[in-house]
Structure 1
Amino acid sequence: MPNKKAFALRVNPEMMAAVEKWAADEFRSTNGQIEWIIDQALQKARRKKKVKVESEEESGKPGDGKPKSEDRKTVDS
C-alpha cells in the first residue's frame, strides 16, 4: 500500500451524509470516495501529475499472462 498522509477533515453533517450515501452507491468506502472525488477534481483542473506506467519487465512483477496489444503478433496461414 502506498504511503498516505492522515489528516482530520471537518465536514458538515449534511455533506458527510451525502458523501457516505454516494460511496455506498459506488461500493466504495467513505475514505475511498473522498480520495476519488479529490482525484477527479485534480484531473479536471489539470493539477495532477501524470504517473509513468512501467512495463512488466521494468517492474519485475508478473502480469496477467495475457500479451499486451503491442506484443501480439499476427500469424499468416
Structure 2
Amino acid sequence: MPRKSVPLRIDPAVYNAIAAWANQEMRSVNAQIEVMLRENLRKAGRLPKDTGEIPKRGRPKNPKSQT
C-alpha cells in the first residue's frame, strides 16, 4: 500500500525535541513521528492489526545487482 503524505503544523520547540530524539535513535524526524504515533496507538489498543512494518531506511536493494 502506498504511504500517505500528511502536512503537519507543529510548534518549533516540539519539532526540535523530536528532531533531537530522532537523531539519538538514528532516525529521520518523519520516521520518529511515525514510531511515536504507532507506539501510542498500540498502547491505546487502536493500532489496526493489518498495519505493516515501518519501511527500512535507505534505498531498496536492486534485484538486478544480486546475480
Please confirm whether the aligned pair reaches a TM-score higher than 0.5, indicating the same fold: yes
Distance in 1 of aligned mates of 2:41 and 2:20: 22
Aligned to 1:24: 23
Which of the two has greater helix per residue?
2
Number of residue-to-residue matches in the alignment: 51
In the TM superposition, what is the alpha-carbon distance from 1:6 to its structure 2 partner?
0.6
Distance in 2 of aligned mates of 1:21 and 1:29: 10
Aligned to 1:42: 41
Gaps of 5+ in 2: 52-67
RMSD: 1.5
In the TM superposition, what is the alpha-carbon distance from 1:19 to its structure 2 partner?
0.2
Identity of aligned residues (%): 37
1:11 and 2:10 matched: yes
Larger Rg: 1
In the TM superposition, what is the alpha-carbon distance from 1:48 to its structure 2 partner?
0.8
Distance in 1 of aligned mates of 2:10 and 2:48: 27
Matched position secondary structure for 2:31: helix
The 4+ residue runs of structure 1 with deviation greater than 6 A are none
